[in-house]
Amino acid sequence: MNSTYKAFWLEGGDLVVIDQTLLPFKLATKTLKTSADATLAIQDMTVRGAGVIGNVAAFGVYLAARESQGDLEKIKNLAAVVRCARPTAVNLMWAVDRMITVLEKAASKKLDLIEVALKEAIAIADEDVIGTRNIGKFGCELIEAIAKTKPKGEPVNILTHCNAGWLAIVDRGSALAPIYEASDRGLNIHVWVDETRPRNQGANLTAWELGQSKIPHTLIADNTGGLLMQYGKVDLCIVGTDRVTRSGDVANKIGTYLKALAAFDNQVPFYVALPSSTFDMHIVDGLKEIAIETRSADEVLYMQGLQDNGELGKVRVAPLETSALNYGFDITPAKLVTGLITERGICEAAETAISAMFLDLIP
Ligand code: MRU
């Protein structure tokens, strides 16, 4: 795999992943040896983010091939379990389907399915690397254009939600790819990082990633973005996504829709960055057709963090008798999206524009 930053890598034929549930306080790894390990790692969010979920699912199919000694029917049964690990990010289904299609063809030619599966999973990851580099370049042009309008010394302020960096898609992320590119080009930027309750991917992961790359950033409570936009302190929003419909509706981490509404009200450009594997061309209406994951109420009722004794721990933040609802994602309608930053260029979030740029993806 050719990536610079790695959320996962191969070691002796097994898949090693960074355990994202422990960041930023502990940098630890887990070794996935079976397809069931891959499914669990996706479900318990050891790995997360649409792109990396897809990668781990693809390697999960390779692990399935290994454990079933290349028996296609057994691989398909195990792959079907991996495919259901989480419901919203379409990269998961896309990656498993691509792996199975390739394995079916290889089986008809009597090729070694373990070898073919490994090669294909690596190919998917390598394509992501090229994709995120291109997303970075196209998105950076937007940042560069704003930078030119700024008085000397004033940064371009970019707001992002959740984590759509290299922990979420190799090797530069989607929403963070233009930010990394802008930093490489020496542009003066500053990132507002939404904490992203309930699981705090912004506070735990995005702030950590940006800190590692020495990119100026400020963590804000999820509800702060609207006021910052009213104050004129946000030049543009860039978020990632887990699934985009043929008409440009966007599923992303819960809270994205509210940021898009605030951006619309304040004429702040609101961009969504994605590789083409995140399009779901089978569907049109995001609200009606995208399954929104519901996660454990405990993620809302408790918060995890570093305790004074240096250990990771969790505390309850609501009365013992209070129940909670925990939707993982929401839908931002296409009309609130200024544009889609893809590896092929920037595309209007509308069916005609998407179909024109991604004709080959339409079923
Ligand atoms: O629940 P998560 O952490 O997997 O959600 C991640 C997001 O919502 C990201 O913004 C999205 O996957 C885009 S990053 C490729």
Residue 3 maps to a domain:
no
Residues 59 and 166 placed together within one structural domain of the fold: no
Nearest CA to ligand 1 atom 10: 240
The last residue of one of the domains, among 101, 127, 153, is 127
Query: From ligand 1's centre to the CA of 67, what distance in Å?
Result: 29
Residue 275 maps to a domain:
yes
The last residue of one of the domains, among 70, 96, 127, is 127
> Which atom of ligand 1 sits closest to the CA of residue 48?
4
Give the model's pLDDT for residue 164: 98
Strand ranges (E), the chain: 8-11, 14-18, 29-32, 156-160, 189-194, 217-220, 236-239, 243-245, 250-253, 270-273, 279-280, 302-306, 312-316, 329-332, 339-342, 345-347
Q: CA-CA distance, 14 to 32, in Å (whole number)?
A: 6
Give the model's pLDDT for residue 6: 86
Residues 141 and 99 placed together within one structural domain of the fold: no
Residues 82 and 149 placed together within one structural domain of the fold: no
Contact 46, 30 (CB under 8 A): yes
> Which atom of ligand 1 sits closest to the CA of residue 329?
8
> Which atom of ligand 1 sits closest to the CA of residue 253?
8
Of 109, 107, 110, nearest in space to 74 by CA: 107
| Residues marked as catalytic | 242
Q: From the CB of 205, is ligand 1 less than 6 Å away? A: no
Query: From ligand 1's centre to the CA of 312, what distance in Å?
Result: 23
Residues 100 and 219 placed together within one structural domain of the fold: no
> Which atom of ligand 1 sits closest to the CA of residue 86?
4
* 363 residues of the chain, pLDDT tens digit each: 555 668 999 999 999 999 999 999 999 999 999 999 999 999 999 999 999 999 999 999 999 999 999 999 999 999 999 999 999 999 999 999 999 999 999 999 999 999 999 999 999 999 999 999 999 999 999 999 999 999 999 999 999 999 999 999 999 999 999 999 999 999 999 999 999 999 999 999 999 999 999 999 999 999 999 999 999 999 999 999 999 999 999 999 999 999 999 999 999 999 999 999 999 999 999 999 999 999 999 999 999 999 999 999 999 999 999 999 999 999 999 999 999 999 999 999 999 999 999 999 999
Residue 228 maps to a domain:
yes
Residues 146 and 278 placed together within one structural domain of the fold: yes
Structure tokens at 225: 């973005």
Give the model's pLDDT for residue 319: 98
Q: How many domains, the chain?
A: 2
Residues 137 and 169 placed together within one structural domain of the fold: yes
Amino acid letter, 176: L
**pTM value > 0.85:** yes
Residues 84 and 231 placed together within one structural domain of the fold: no
Structure tokens at 350: 């509308």
As a residue count, the chain comes to: 363
Give the model's pLDDT for residue 3: 56
- How does pLDDT run across 35-73, given as a tens digit for each residue? 999 999 999 999 999 999 999 999 999 999 999 999 999
CB neighbourhood size of 201 (10 A)? 27
Helices and strands in the chain: count of H runs, count of E runs = 13, 16
Q: From the CB of 165, is ligand 1 less than 6 Å away? A: no
Structure tokens at 297: 């109420």
Residue 46 maps to a domain:
yes
CATH of residue 191's domain is 3.40.50.10470
Q: From the CB of 169, is ligand 1 less than 6 Å away? A: yes
Residue 1 maps to a domain:
no
Residues 134 and 77 placed together within one structural domain of the fold: no
Domain ranges, residue 80? 8-127
Q: From the CB of 242, is ligand 1 less than 6 Å away? A: yes
Helix (H, G, I), strand (E, B) or coil at 331: strand
Helices in the chain by DSSP H: which ranges?
35-43, 50-67, 72-83, 90-108, 113-149, 177-184, 201, 207-212, 225-230, 256-265, 286-289, 298-301, 351-357
Amino acid letter, 105: K
Q: From the CB of 49, is ligand 1 less than 6 Å away? A: yes
DSSP single-letter state for residue 224: G
Q: From the CB of 15, is ligand 1 less than 6 Å away? A: no
Q: CA-CA distance, 86 to 90, in Å (whole number)?
A: 9
The last residue of one of the domains, among 127, 158, 181, is 127
